[in-house]
Structure 1
Amino acid sequence: MLTLKASGVSFTSLILLAAIALGSALGHFAPDTGERLGDWVDPTLLSLVALLFFGVRFGALLQAASNLRFFAVALLANFVLIPLIGYAVAWLLLGHHPLFMVGLVIYFMSPCTDWFLDFTRLAKGNVALGTALIPLNMLVQLLLYPLYLQLFAGQAVAVEAGALGSTLLQWFLQPLLLAIAAHQVLRWLLGGERFEALLARVDQLLPWLIGLLVLEIFVGNIAVILEHRGVFAWVLLAVFIFFVLTFLLGEALSRLLHFDYPEHALLSMTTAARNAPLMLAVTMAALPGQPLIYAALVIGMLVEFPHLTALSRVLLGTRRERTWLSHLFQATRSRHQ
C-alpha cells in the first residue's frame, strides 16, 4: 500500500513531474536513449503490479462483515454511480478525442487501493474500515475491468474479450495469487514487526517505480503526446468537474444515510481517490501502444494529490463544525434540564 504522509504528497507529485520532464527531454533530445529505456516497460510493469498486490492486506476483508451497510454503500457509489458520472463527464468534454476520453473513463471508474487510506487518516476518518475496503476495491475493479472497457470504451478502441481475459490472467490474476502467497509466507517467516517494516520499505519504493513507468511512457511517446497538447486543458477540466461531482455525491450519501463523521470522511475519500497506478499498469498491458490513453491517466494522477489534500482539510473543517454544534446542543440541553 502506497503510504503518503503529509510531506509525501508533494514528494510523490514532484517525482511524477520530474519523470514527465525527464522522459520528455530524453525522448526529444536523445531518442536512442529513449528507445532503450522503452524496452524496460514490461519489467517495470510487472514489478509495479507485484509490489502493489504484495502490499495489500487481504486478511482485512474479515472486518467487512462488521459494517455491511457501509460497504454496500461504498460499492454502489464506487462501481455503479461513479463510473456513470465519470463516463458522462468524459463523453461531454472529450467525446471528440476518443483516446483521451477512454483514458479518463478508465481513471474515473477505479477506486483507489493505496494512498486514500493515508488521506483518510489525515482527515480523522475510519482507517480500520478503510483497510478492509482496500482488498475489496482491488478485487472488484479487476473483475469488472473487462466489462467496463466493453461498455464505455468499446467504440473508441478495439477490445477483444478473449484476448483481454487472457492478458488479465497472465499479467494480474496470476501475480495477484503469487503476491498473496508471498505476503502470507513472509509474514509467517519474519514475524509481525519485521514484516511491517518490510511493507514500509515497499511503500517507499512504489512512488519511484511509478515515476520510472511514467518516464518510460513519455520517453518513447513524447512526439505523439505533444501533438495533442491542446487537449490537456480539457482533460484537466474534466478531472476537476469529476472531483467536484464525487465530493457532492459523498456528501449527499453521508447526510442521507446519517453516517457518523469517521465513516463520512472515509466515504468521501474512497469516492474521490482513484487507482491510477494499477489502472495504468492494467491498461498498458490490455491496450498496448496507446500513449494518449496513458497520458490521460497520468494527468489525472497529478491532479488527484492536491485535490485529496484540499478535501482532507474541508473534511476536518466539517468535523470541527460538527463538534462545535454537538457541544452547543449539549450545553443548551443542560441549561434546560
Structure 2
Amino acid sequence: MLSALDRPVATSVLLLGAIAIGSAIGGVAPEAGARVGALADPLVLALVTAVFATVRLEGLRELRRCSRLALIAAGVNFLVVPVVAFALTRLLPDEAIRLGVLTYCLAPCTDWFLGFTRLAKGDTTTGAALVPLQMLIQLALYPAWLAVFSGLPGSGVLESAVPALLTWFVLPAAIGLGIGLVARRVLPDRISASVEAGVDRAVPVIIALLVVALFAGNVGTILAEPSAFALVLGVVFLFFVAMWGIGEAVARAFRLRRDEHALLTITTSARNAPLMIGLTSIALPDQPLVVAAIVLGMLIEFPHLTVLTHLLRRGRREAPSVGPARVAA
C-alpha cells in the first residue's frame, strides 16, 4: 500500500503522464481525441461517486469536542483564503485560467490532507471532523463563487449550472454516500476498510483518466497559451507560500499546540482538486482552460505538502514540549 508521501509522488507522475498522453492523442489524431474526450462525462460520474464513497458524515459529531480549532481552520479556509486567492489571481492574464486557479484555491481538501496531518503528528481527530464540515461549506458556496468570479450574471450561472449539478453531481454523490454507508453498516470492519481503501486508491487513477479525456478533446485550446500556464504554476506557488505565512501567524496568535498548528497548516494548504475538477467539468463544460488550471495546481500541491510535512516534523523534534498534545491515529 502506498504511504501518504508515496501516493502524492505516484499521483503527480500519473497526472503528468495523463497530460502527455491526452495531448498526444488530441494533437496527432484529432478525431480519436474527440472520441476520447467524449469519455469525460462518465469519468466525472465515476469520480464524484468515488470521492463521496469515502466521506464520513458522522465526523460532524466530533465538532463539539474540537470546535475552537475547527472554527479557526474553517475561518482561514473560507474567509482568508478567498482574499489571498483573489489578490494573487489578478496576476493572470486570461479570465478562464484565472477562474480555474480561483476554483482550485477556494476548496479545502477533504481526503488526503488527513494522511499528511498524521505524518506531521497533527490533530487528526479535529481533521476528521473538518472533512464533512468543509465539504458541505464548499459545496454550498460553489455556485456563489462561480457567479462572483466567472463574470457571468448570477441568474445565468444558476440557470445553467444548478440543473447540471443536480443531475450530474447530486445523484452520483448520493450514490457514493450510500455505497459508503452500506459498506460500513453491512460488511465486516476489515472488509469495509479494505473496500474504502481501494476506492480511495482508485480516485487518482480516475482523475488521470479524466485528464487524458479532457486534454485529448481540448488540446488545441489548452496549449494555445503556454505562457499563461507557466504563470499558473507561479501563482499557485505564491499562494502556498502566503498560506504558510498566514498559518504561522494564526498559530502564534491563538497559541495553538503543535498538533493543532500542524493540522491548521496542512488543511489551509491542501486543496480539493478532485471534487473541483468534477464539479467544474459539469458546470462549465465549454471551458477546458478552467479545468486545465485546476490540474496544474495539483502538480504544485503534492511537492508542497511533502515539504510542509517535513518542516512540521522537524519543528516538532526541535521544539521543547509546552504542554500535552492530542494526536489521534
TMscore range, shorter length: over 0.9
By how many angstroms is 1:163 displaced? 2.6
Deviates more, 1:32-41 or 1:292-301: 32-41
Residue 191 of structure 1 aligns with an amino acid whose one-letter code is P
TM-score norm. by structure 2 comes to: 0.94
Quick check: 1:285 aligned with 2:282? yes
Residue 262 of structure 2 aligns with an amino acid whose one-letter code is A
Residue 142 of structure 1 aligns with which residue? 139
8 Å contact 1:149–1:159 — kept in the other structure? no
8 Å contact 1:4–1:115 — kept in the other structure? no
Quick check: 1:22 aligned with 2:21? yes
Quick check: 1:274 aligned with 2:259? no
Deviations 1:232-273, CA, capped at 9 Å, x for gaps: 221111101100111111111111101111110001001001
8 Å contact 1:24–1:219 — kept in the other structure? yes
Residue 196 of structure 1 aligns with which residue? 193
Q: Is the helix fraction higher in 1 or 2?
A: 1
Structure 1 CA distance for aligned equivalents of residues 21 and 160 of structure 2: 34
Structure 2 CA distance for aligned equivalents of residues 268 and 322 of structure 1: 17
Structure 1 CA distance for aligned equivalents of residues 200 and 182 of structure 2: 19
Quick check: 1:231 aligned with 2:228? yes
8 Å contact 1:116–1:270 — kept in the other structure? yes
8 Å contact 1:86–1:242 — kept in the other structure? yes
Residue 254 of structure 1 aligns with which residue? 251
* 2:256 match: secondary structure: coil
By how many angstroms is 1:4 displaced? 5.5
Residue 327 of structure 2 aligns with which residue? none
Quick check: 1:98 aligned with 2:95? yes
Residue 244 of structure 2 aligns with an amino acid whose one-letter code is F
Deviations 1:305-327, CA, capped at 9 Å, x for gaps: 0010011111112212223x759
Residue 79 of structure 1 aligns with which residue? 78
Residue 204 of structure 2 aligns with which residue? 207
8 Å contact 2:26–2:217 — kept in the other structure? yes
Quick check: 1:216 aligned with 2:207? no
Look at both structures and tell me which one has the larger radius of gyration over its CA atoms. 1
Residue 24 of structure 2 aligns with an amino acid whose one-letter code is A
Structure 1 CA distance for aligned equivalents of residues 159 and 153 of structure 2: 18
Quick check: 1:47 aligned with 2:52? no
Deviations 1:133-184, CA, capped at 9 Å, x for gaps: 1111111101100111112222599952233222222222333333222222
Deviations 1:272-311, CA, capped at 9 Å, x for gaps: 0111110011001001111111111011011100010011
Structure 2 CA distance for aligned equivalents of residues 64 and 233 of structure 1: 40
CA RMSD of aligned residues (A): 1.8
Residue 118 of structure 2 aligns with an amino acid whose one-letter code is R
Structure 1 CA distance for aligned equivalents of residues 153 and 262 of structure 2: 36
Quick check: 1:9 aligned with 2:8? yes
8 Å contact 2:146–2:157 — kept in the other structure? no
The correspondence for 2:128, drawn from 123, 126, 131, is 131
8 Å contact 1:103–1:297 — kept in the other structure? yes
Unaligned runs of 5+ in 2: 324-329
Residue 68 of structure 1 aligns with which residue? 67
Residue 213 of structure 1 aligns with an amino acid whose one-letter code is L
Structure 2 CA distance for aligned equivalents of residues 59 and 132 of structure 1: 8
Structure 1 CA distance for aligned equivalents of residues 218 and 154 of structure 2: 18
Residue 278 of structure 1 aligns with an amino acid whose one-letter code is L
Structure 2 CA distance for aligned equivalents of residues 74 and 193 of structure 1: 32
1:204–1:100: structure 2 CA closer, same or farther, 3 Å change rule?
same
Residue 333 of structure 1 aligns with which residue? none
Residue 90 of structure 1 aligns with an amino acid whose one-letter code is T
Structure 1 CA distance for aligned equivalents of residues 97 and 55 of structure 2: 30
Percent of pairs with identical residues:
42
Structure 2 CA distance for aligned equivalents of residues 84 and 156 of structure 1: 21
* 2:121 match: secondary structure: coil
Deviations 1:93-119, CA, capped at 9 Å, x for gaps: 11x311110001101110001111111
* 1:124 match: secondary structure: coil
Structure 1 CA distance for aligned equivalents of residues 153 and 18 of structure 2: 28
8 Å contact 1:98–1:156 — kept in the other structure? no
Structure 2 CA distance for aligned equivalents of residues 98 and 4 of structure 1: 37
Residue 8 of structure 1 aligns with an amino acid whose one-letter code is R
